[in-house]
Structure 1
Amino acid sequence: MVDASSVPQTGIIRPQDGAQTLKRSSIYLRISLDHTGEGLAVERQRADCERIARERGWKIVATYTDNSISASDKANVRPDYDRMVRDYSNGRFDAVICWDLDRLTRQPRQLEDWIDAATEPGLLLVTANGEADLSTDGGRLFARIKASVARAEVERARQSAAQRQRAAMGRPPRGVRPTWVARGSNCISASSSRTPLRRSSG
């Protein structure tokens, strides 16, 4: 048995294999922003995940919920996610049910931890939308592409916010220096004008 205190937050240690006919499953629920604080979205996720467990005859041994916590920023602490990782490492369950793969994680490094855990017989990971099957090459490829796209969307959003901030401050966008901005200039003067393009008459 793995000592829970020795398990890093970002890693997943495979528990010792044991002969089991009844899958012990966990459910992970998460939404990035709960506008009302009523937890309605995670309750809808819970209903779908519990239905999957019933259909497969799995016993739910734990439910983990991180309500109104984003998974896009790796600096964010998700208490129940970290607890789930420790519980899996201690052999408490051998299946994870979540509504969608991006509810579980949006971090490529964390995804690789789950892929490692599911590559060999042991962990089963099931999503309510039926898209994730980390036991197959195609499923792992799909999961990696989805995580990469999600990461790119976050980075684009941050860059757009930074550009809007620079525009509000009267500063040119980062990147290639516009030809009408003097070298070394940090701001665009309101009185500055661009040289108009003129077509040659000859």
Structure 2
Amino acid sequence: MSQSPWRRQLVDGGHAAVQRRYSDLVAAASNVYGYTHGVIPGLLQTRAYAHAVLTEMAAFHLRPGDDVDAAVEARLARQAHLDDNGKHFRLIVDEAVLHRVVYAVSVHAEQLQHLLSLVSLPRGDTLVGVLPLATLTFTPQNGFDVFDGDVYVETYAGEAVHKRTEDEAVVYARAFERLWADAVTGAPAEDLIAAAATRL
């Protein structure tokens, strides 16, 4: 396992560099899996939502945020990979994220409508699942992303990387399988997103 503090990454290259590195990970991978319980996944974010997320993180890490616009562009650019039929995306959003309005209501509402469109009309080989607050058989613990077996775990302080040959990566693969089994896709997922939107 390797660990890399956000503060060091942001000092070395800023938010835009971090986003470009994640874009490289997506570009190189054939299978991209992930579970988020804090915010909508970057691959599914609208421009306004991404800007709000990255602006918040810049402030939290005491960075000037002068490259947030460039970071947003890098994050949005990698969404083009969703249309690549040679890549397989399985992304799980915790239902709690649908109801957690951290940013402006208008930003959140637009994001939910965008997410709804991605569930109802998938791009390429992309499946978006919603992990319901009810009917769980496995307890979610933390968010993570998997790129061809390599696991990236983001925390407030930095990221931990577990290579696919490490025991920890096998544990996360098993956790994703359990979470995906509990997640709903298609019409049931649409219903949960729509219900969250009507409560705004």
Structure showing the higher strand proportion among its residues: 2
Instruction: Name which one, 1 or 2, has greater alpha-carbon Rg.
Output: 1
Q: TM-score, normalised by structure 2?
A: 0.31
Q: TM-score, normalised by structure 1?
A: 0.31
Structure showing the higher helix proportion among its residues: 2
If asked which structure has higher relative contact order (CA below 8 Å, sep 6+), I would say 2
